[in-house]
Amino acid sequence: MISLNEILLITPELFIVGFSLIILLSDLIFGSKFRSSDIASLGILASLIITILLFSGVIKINDISSISILNIISVDKYSLLLKIVVLLLSLSISTVGKEVISDTLKLRSEFWTLFMISLAGMMMLTSVTEMITAWVALELTSLPLIGMLSLNKKRYSLEISFKYLILSATSSAIILMGISQLYGLSGSTFFNDIMPLKDAFGGRFIFEDSTQLLIIFSLILIISGFSFKIASFPFFTWVPDVYQGSPSLVTLYLSVVSKIAGFSILIRFLFESVNIEVYSNISLFIAIISSISMFYGNIMALRQNDLKRLFAYSTIAHAGYILIGIASLQVNDASFSGINSTVFYLIAYGITNLTAFLSMISLSRYVDSYNMLDFKGLGSAQRYQSIIFSISLISLLGIPATVGFMGKAFIFSGAISNDYFWLASFGIINSLISAYYYMKVIKIIFVEKSDKPFPEITFPRLKVITTIGAILIIVLGLAPVALLSIVESALNTII
C-alpha cells in the first residue's frame, strides 16, 4: 500500500503525466488556441519547482536520503539532482518549441504528449532500484520516442522510426536476458539484493567461481543493452540516420536528455548492485566499449559535412568519454572523485550540447540547411549567435576556461588515479582528433565569406536560452567547485 508521503515523493512525475493529458484535452476542446509546447513548459516548470524544493529540503518528508517507494523507487538526492538536470534541459527544449518546431511536423499536440510521457519515463530511470521496474521505465522512455520520430511528414520518417524500433526491441531483449539470469542466480531483482558486497566473516566473494562467470556474463548483457540508450558501442549504428532524419527537437532530446537518463540508471545499477570483485572484471569490458565509442565517433565525424550527422558521431564519442569515468571506478579513496567526475561531466555535457544544438538550429534557419558549408559568412551576419555556437563547440572539444575542459580533466585524472592510464591516453588522443572537425566548423563560419543575403529574422527564445547556456559554460569552467560540491552531496546518498 502506497502512503500519502510516497505519493508526494512522486509528485514531479505525476505532474508530467497529468500535463500530458491536459495537452490532449486542450487540443480536443480548444484546438490551436493554446500552444501545446507552452502547456508542456508549464507542466515541466511545476515539476521542476517541486523537485528543487524536495532537493533543497524545503519540502521535508522524513529523511529524504533514505526514502523509497515499495523498495523499487528511491527518492534520494542523487535521483533528485539528475531529475532537476533532466527537467531543466527539457524545459529549455519545450520553451523554444515554438521557434524550433518544423512545419513538416504533424499532430503537434500528440507530439508534445509523447514528449511528456517519455520525460516521465526518464525521470523514473533516475530513481529505480529494481531491475524489472528499470526495464519498464526504459520502455516508457523509448516507445513514445518511436511515435515522435514517425510524426514527421518527410518520407523517411517511418524508416528511421522503424530502425529505432528494431534496435530498441533488440536491446530490450538483451537487457531482459541479463536480468533473468541475474534473478536465477540471486533470487532477487532488487539492486541491493543481487550481489552482497562481501561475506561478513571471510571477506570473500560469496558466489562460487562458475557462478561468478555467469554473473559477469549477465552484467555484460545488461550493459550492452543499455548502450542503446546512451548511444555507445555496440548499439550505436542507429544514431547518425536517426539524428539526421528526425525533427530537430527530437534529435536534441535524444542527444541530451535521453543520454543523461540512460547514464543515470547505469551508474546507480553498477554502484548499488555489483560486487567490487565482479566489477574489477567487467570494468575492462566497459573500458573497451569506451575506447571503441570514442575512436569510432571521432573518426567518422571527420568526414561529415552535415552538422546533424557530425553531432551524432560526436555524441557517440562523448558517450565514450563518460564511460571512462564509469570504467575507472574502484572502491578506494579515488572512487569518490571517480563517480563525482562522471556525474559532473554528464551535467557539463548536457549544458554544452544543448547550447551547441540550439545555436546550430538558430543559425540553420538563416540558410535553410544543416550543411556546414552553407554556414559561410554567418560569423559576420549573425555574429552573436555564431560566437555562442563557437563557445559551445570549444567546450565540447575541451578548451580551458570551459566546463567541458573541467569535465574532461576530472574524468582523465580519475582514470589515471585508478590505473587506467592507457584509457585516459585514448581520451586525450580522441580530444585532439575532435579538434579538427570542431575547429573546421568555426573556421567556415568566421573565416570563409559568402555573398548571398541572409533573411532578417529573430528567434528571441533561442537567443535567451543559448545565452544562459554560454554563461554557464564559462562560469562553471572557471569556478566548478559549486557544482562539484552539489554533486558530491547528492552522491553521498548512494555511495
291-335 pLDDT per residue, tens: 999 999 999 999 999 999 999 999 999 999 999 999 887 644 444
Residue with the larger pLDDT of the pair 202 and 259: 259
Q: Sort strands 68-69 and 73-74 into parallel, antiparallel or unpaired.
A: antiparallel
Instruction: Write the burial class of residue 1 (CB in 10 Å: 0-12 exposed, 13-18 middle, 19+ buried).
Output: exposed
Percent of the chain with pLDDT over 90: 50
H-type helices in 306-402, by residue range?
A: 307-327, 333-367, 378-381, 383-397
> Closest by alpha carbon to 107, among 149, 151, 150?
151
Instruction: Report the pLDDT averaged over residues 399-405.
Output: 94
Domain-located, residue 233: no
Q: Output helix, strand, coil percentages for the chain, rounded to the nearest 5.
A: 75, 0, 20
SS3 151: coil
Nearby residues of 32 by Cβ (< 8 Å), 6 or more positions away: none
Which of 154-168, 375-389, 430-444 reaches the highest mean pLDDT? Answer: 430-444
Instruction: Report the pLDDT averaged over residues 253-272.
Output: 90
> Closest by alpha carbon to 132, among 194, 87, 62?
194
pLDDT for residue 216: 80
Domain-located, residue 27: no
Residue 2: is its pLDDT beyond 50? Answer: yes
Phi, psi torsion values for 387, nearest 5 degrees: -65, -45
SS3 447: coil
pLDDT for residue 139: 92
Instruction: Report the pLDDT averaged over residues 427-456.
Output: 89
pLDDT for residue 199: 35
Q: CA–CA separation, 224 vs 175, rounded Å?
A: 8
Nearby residues of 435 by Cβ (< 8 Å), 6 or more positions away: 397
> Closest by alpha carbon to 299, among 287, 316, 284, 321?
316
Contact yes or no for 322/263 (Cβ under 8 A): yes
Domain-located, residue 415: yes
Nearby residues of 342 by Cβ (< 8 Å), 6 or more positions away: 263, 267, 322, 325, 326, 329, 411, 414
Domain-located, residue 432: yes
Name which of 66-70, 134-138, 293-297, 417-421 the model is least confident about. 66-70
Range of the domain at 403: 276-495
Taking every pair of C-alpha atoms in the chain, what is the biggest distance, in angstroms? 78
Query: What's the one-letter identity of residue 426?
Result: F
Residue 90 — pLDDT band, cuts 50, 70, 90?
Answer: very high
pLDDT for residue 107: 60
Cell 570563409, located at residue: 448
Rounded CA Rg of the chain: 22
Contact yes or no for 179/135 (Cβ under 8 A): yes
472 torsion bin: left (phi>0), alpha (psi -120 to 50), beta (else): alpha
pLDDT for residue 287: 92
Query: What's the one-letter identity of residue 341?
Result: S
C-alpha dihedral sign at 119, 123, 124, 128: positive
Instruction: Report the pLDDT averaged over residues 193-221.
Output: 61
Residue 202 — pLDDT band, cuts 50, 70, 90?
Answer: very low
The domain total for the chain is 1
Residue 460 — pLDDT band, cuts 50, 70, 90?
Answer: confident
Instruction: Report the pLDDT averaged over residues 399-409.
Output: 94
DSSP readout, 97-118? HHHH--TTB--HHHHHHHHHHH
Q: CA–CA separation, 485 vs 494, rounded Å?
A: 15
Domain-located, residue 113: no
Instruction: Write the burial class of residue 366 (CB in 10 Å: 0-12 exposed, 13-18 middle, 19+ buried).
Output: buried
Percent of the chain with pLDDT over 70: 87
Contact yes or no for 424/291 (Cβ under 8 A): no
> For residue 10, what is the DSSP state?
T
Q: CA–CA separation, 491 vs 36, rounded Å?
A: 36
Domain-located, residue 310: yes
Q: CA–CA separation, 24 vs 14, rounded Å?
A: 16
Instruction: Report the pLDDT averaged over residues 208-213.
Output: 66
Instruction: Report the pLDDT averaged over residues 6-13.
Output: 83
Domain-located, residue 337: yes
Instruction: Report the pLDDT averaged over residues 365-372.
Output: 88
Residue 273 — pLDDT band, cuts 50, 70, 90?
Answer: confident
pLDDT for residue 8: 78
Nearby residues of 268 by Cβ (< 8 Å), 6 or more positions away: 78, 79, 126, 128, 129, 191, 494
Task: Return mean pLDDT, the chain.
Answer: 85
- C-alpha 446, offset from chain centre: 30
Contact yes or no for 388/470 (Cβ under 8 A): yes
Domain-located, residue 164: no
Cell 519515463, located at residue: 121
Residue 128 β-bridge partners: 73
pLDDT for residue 133: 92
pLDDT for residue 30: 75
Instruction: Report the pLDDT averaged over residues 139-154.
Output: 86
Nearby residues of 458 by Cβ (< 8 Å), 6 or more positions away: none
Which pLDDT tens digit goes with each residue over 331-354? 444 444 568 889 999 999 999 999
Compute CA distances 45 → 15, 52, 144, 426, 471, whole Å.
10, 10, 21, 40, 21
Contact yes or no for 197/279 (Cβ under 8 A): no
pLDDT for residue 204: 43
